[in-house]
Amino acid sequence: MLQQYTKEFRYNIRLSVPVILGMLGHTFVGLADNIMVGQLGTAELAAVSLGNSFVFIAMSLGIGFSTAITPLVAEADGAGKKDAGKSALKHGLVLCTLLGIALFGVTLLGKPLMYLMDQPPEVVTLAIPYLDLVAFSLVPLIMFQAFKQFSEGLSQTKYPMYATIIANALNIILNYLLIFGTFGFPKMGIIGAAIGTLVSRVVMLLFLWYLLNKKKKFHFYVTGFNFRKLERRVVNKIISLGFPSALQMFFEVAIFTAAIWLSGVLGKNPQAANQIALNLSSMTFMFGMGLGVAAMIRVGNQKGLKKYTELRRIAQSIFFLTLLLEIGFAALFLLCRHWFPTIYLDVNDLSNQADNMEVIALAAQLLLVAAFFQISDGLQVVILGALR
121-168 pLDDT, tens digit per residue, is 888 899 999 999 999 999 999 999 999 999 988 878 789 889 988 998
Q: Is 7 exposed, middle or buried (0-12, 13-18, 19+ CB in 10 A)?
A: exposed
- Give the pLDDT score at 388: 66
Instruction: State pLDDT tens for residues 325-346.
Output: 899 999 999 998 989 988 888 7
Mean pLDDT over each residue of the chain, to the nearest integer: 86
Q: Which amino acid is at 151?
A: S
pTM: 0.76
User: Given pLDDT bands bounded at 50, 70 and 90, which one contains residue 213?
Assistant: very high
- Give the pLDDT score at 238: 94
Give me the number of domains the chain comprises.
1
Looking at mean pLDDT, say which of 169-183, 294-308, 310-324, 351-365 comes out highest: 169-183
Q: Structural domain of residue 293, as residue ranges?
A: 3-387
- Give the pLDDT score at 26: 66
Instruction: State pLDDT tens for residues 35-92.
Output: 788 888 878 888 888 888 889 889 999 999 999 998 899 888 877 888 888 899 999 9
